[in-house]
Amino acid sequence: MDKKIKRGYIGAMSDIKHGLEVLKQNVKIASQKPGVYRMIDQNGVVLYVGKAKNIKKRIVWYTHFEKLPTRLKRMVALVDKMEFIIAPSEAAALLIENELIKRYAPKFNILLKDDKSFPYLMIDEKEDFPKIQKYRGKKEKNVRYFGPFANVLAVNNVVNLIQKVFGLRTCRDSVFANRSRPCLLYQIKKCAGPCCDVISKEKYRQIVDDVIAFLEGKDIKLKEKLSVEMQQASDQLLFEEALVLRDKIRALSAITGGANVAYGKLKSVDVVGLYEKDGMVSIEIFLYRNGQNYGNAVYFPRQTDEATKGEILEAFLSEFYSTHLPPKEIYVSEELENKSFLEDALQTKILNAFKGDKAKLVQGAVLNAKAALERKLSESASIKENLLEMKEVFSLSKIPNRIEIYDNSHNQGSYAVGAMVVATPEGFDKKAYRKFNIKYTANTNDDFAMMKEVLLRRFEHLTDENRPDVVLLDGGEGQLHAVLEALKNVDLTGIHIIAISKGPDRNAGKEFYHQAGKESFALTYRSALAFYMQTLRDEAHRFAIGTHRAKRAKGVFKSDLDEIEGIGAKRKKDLLLFFGSLEDVKNATLEDLQKVNSISKKTAEKIYKYFHK
C-alpha cells in the first residue's frame, strides 16, 4: 500500500475509533427521557442536532457504525464531544431541536430555508358589525381564524367570493366608523352597507353566521337554509330579497360544484410530496381545509447530500410544523423512520400508503415538486451562465458569489432612503436586504452624497461572511467616483464596484457600465447578460421605491402630536376623535384636554404647554 494512502487510512480509522469511543462514553451518562442532543467537533463546532424519544437509545444507534449511511459515518469520525437537553415532552424536544438548528446551522443537518408566514382569514365576532380580513401573526382568544392559506392569492380569491355571495364588509374600522354614505362596494352589491344603517345588526349577524358556515365547509346546510329563506321571502311577496337569496344559492352552487370531488372529505389535511434529481430536492405541500384547496407552496431543503428521501422528508416535517399549525392528518410520499415520534410531537396522524383519490393527491404533490425542481434547476443553470459571462466581461477575479445592488429613492428630497439588495447564484437573498434612512446628508436632493452615506454605513459592518464580490450602483461615472472617494479608507480587495447608467433615450437594454480604470461600455442589446443586469438593477429600484413609499405613507400620518412626550398612537387617536382635528386640539383649553379619557392632568399640561409656548 502507498505510504500516503496508508497514513490517511490509519488516520481515518483512528478518527472513527475516537468518535465511537466518545459515543460509548456518552451512552453511559445519557438520559432515557425525551430530549435533544448535539454532536460537537474538537473545535467546538456543532456538527449535528437531533431529537429523540429516548436519548440513550438514539446514541446507541450511532455506535452501530457499519449500519450508518456514509454521511453519518463521516460525522461520527469528527465527533469529540456531546451535549444533551432533556425535554418535558416530544413536542418540546421538536421545538428545541429546531431552535438549535436555526442557531447553529450544523453541516450534517438537513436545513430548510423557511421564511414563509402563511396568511389566515379572521373574523372578530365581538364587533357589532364584524369584517373579514387577512391576518398574519399571533392568534387572539375569541377570534375566529380560517386557514392557513398557502399564499395571499388564495386568500384574495376566498375574500372575493365572500364579498360576491354574502356582502360582508372588508373595510378598516377607521373607514367604517367615519363613513356618511355607502361606498362603491355597496353600489356593486359586494357589501351589505352596515356603515350607513342600510342593514340591521340582526340581519348582518345572520350574514356573518353564513360566512362562518361556508368557511367551515357546511355548504349543504347553508344552501338548505338559504333555500328556506328564499321561499319565505317569496311567500311574503318580498321578491327583490328572494332574488338576492337565489343569486347567493347559485353562486354557492357554482363554487362548490366546481370543486374536486376528492377534496370533499378533506377537513384538515396537508399533502406533502418529495422529488429528488441531480442531488437537489424539492418538497411541495398542499393545504386542504373543509373540503377546499387552500393553495400550495414549494420548498428546497439544503445539505441533503447522501440523505434518504425519508430522512429529508422527516427533517422537513419537523422544521415546517415547528412554526406552522399541524392539521389533523398529513399525507406523505415517503416512509418515515421516526413517524410515531413525529405523530406524538405534532399531535397529528401521518399516512403514506394510499389507494384511489388519496393516492392521486399524493402523486399530484410529487408531480408538482418535480416541475418546481426542474424550473429551479433551469433557472440556476441560467444564473450560473450569466455569472460566468459577467466574470469575463467585467474582468472579475472570480465568479461572484454575492452581488450587492444599491439605489436611492426620494421625493424632491423628502422621505429619502437608500436600499441594498443581494443576489447570489441561488437568486435574490431577501433576508440580506437592507434599508437605510438618510440621516447625515444635509441636501437630500444630492444623490451622490446620499449614495456615499449609504455605502459608508454599509461598509462599517463589513465582515468576512458578508463581504460582497461585486457592488452594483444605480448611476453613472459620478456615482462611481463619489463612492470610491467615500470608501478610500476601506479595504476593497476582491470587491469590484460597477456603476450602471441609463442609455440613450433611457431605453432598457442600452445601459452603460462604468468601472475604475476602464472605458465605459454597453452590453450587447437584449443579450442574456444584459437582461440579467437589468433584473438586478430593477430589483434594487423596486425595493428602494417600496421603502420610500412606506416611509412617505407613514409620514403622512405624522403630526405635531408625535413630538410630544407621552403621546402614543392611542392617545393621539383619542384626542383627534374627541376634538375632530389637530387645529381644535391646539386651541383646546387645559380643562377640555382633561376630558379625554386617556389624558391625565399631567399629560394635558404637556399638550397645552407644547401648543402655547
Q: Which class would CATH give 560-611?
A: mainly alpha
Where are the CATH 1.10.150.20 domain residues in the chain?
Answer: 560-611
Where are the CATH 3.40.1440.10 domain residues in the chain?
Answer: 3-104
- 84 contacts 36 by C-beta, under 8 angstroms: yes
* Rounded distance between C-alpha atoms, residue 254 and residue 247, angstroms: 10
Report pLDDT digits (tens) over 564-574: 877 877 788 88
- Please provide the CATH number assigned to the domain covering 263-375: 3.30.420.340
pLDDT at 261 over 50: no
* Rounded distance between C-alpha atoms, residue 39 and residue 46, angstroms: 6
Cis (ω within 30 of 0) for the bond into 148? yes
Q: Which pairing describes strands 329-332 and 268-277: parallel, antiparallel, or unpaired?
A: parallel
- CATH topology assigned to domain 403-554: Nucleotidyltransferase; domain 5 (3.30.420)
- 240 contacts 218 by C-beta, under 8 angstroms: no
- Helix (H, G, I), strand (E, B), or coil: what is residue 393? helix
Residue 127: Cβ within 10 Å count: 13
Where are the CATH 3.30.420.340 domain residues in the chain?
Answer: 263-375, 403-554
User: What's the mean pLDDT in 214-243?
Assistant: 76
Q: How confident is the model at residue 317 (pLDDT cuts 50, 70, 90)?
A: very high
pLDDT at 393 over 80: yes
Q: How confident is the model at residue 515 (pLDDT cuts 50, 70, 90)?
A: very high
Q: Which pLDDT score is estimated for 6?
A: 46
pLDDT at 333 over 80: yes
Q: How confident is the model at residue 508 (pLDDT cuts 50, 70, 90)?
A: low
Q: Which pLDDT score is estimated for 67?
A: 85
Q: How confident is the model at residue 403 (pLDDT cuts 50, 70, 90)?
A: very high
Q: How confident is the model at residue 7 (pLDDT cuts 50, 70, 90)?
A: very low
* Rounded distance between C-alpha atoms, residue 61 and residue 59, angstroms: 5
Report pLDDT digits (tens) over 341-368: 889 888 999 998 778 888 999 999 999 9
Tell me the three cell numbers of residue 524.
450587447
Report pLDDT digits (tens) over 38-73: 999 999 999 999 998 899 999 999 998 888 888 888
* Rounded distance between C-alpha atoms, residue 300 and residue 521, angstroms: 38
Q: Which pLDDT score is estimated for 328?
A: 93
Q: Which of 221, 246, 222, 218 is nearest to 232 (CA)?
A: 246
Report pLDDT digits (tens) over 174-223: 788 877 788 888 888 888 888 888 888 898 998 898 888 878 776 666 67
User: What's the mean pLDDT in 506-521?
Assistant: 82
Say which residue, 315 or 253, is predicted with more confidence.
Answer: 315
E strand or H helix at 50, and its extent? strand 46-52
Report pLDDT digits (tens) over 144-181: 888 888 878 888 888 888 888 788 888 888 788 877 78
Q: Which pairing describes strands 470-474 and 403-411: parallel, antiparallel, or unpaired?
A: parallel
Q: Which of 344, 400, 379 is nearest to 89 (CA)?
A: 344
Output the CA–CA distances (angstroms, integers) from residue 169 to 48, 202, 258, in the order listed.
Answer: 51, 15, 25
- 287 contacts 148 by C-beta, under 8 angstroms: yes
Give the gyration radius of the chain's Cα atoms. Answer: 31
Q: Give phi and psi for 373, each to the nearest 5.
A: -70, -40
Report pLDDT digits (tens) over 404-450: 999 988 776 677 889 999 999 988 998 899 999 888 887 767 888 88
pLDDT at 376 over 70: yes
Say which residue, 577 or 50, is predicted with more confidence.
Answer: 50
| 28: amino acid identity, one letter | K
Pick one of 3.10.580.10, 3.40.50.720, 3.40.1440.10, 3.40.50.300 as the CATH number of 3-104. 3.40.1440.10
Q: Which pLDDT score is estimated for 507?
A: 59
* Rounded distance between C-alpha atoms, residue 365 and residue 372, angstroms: 11
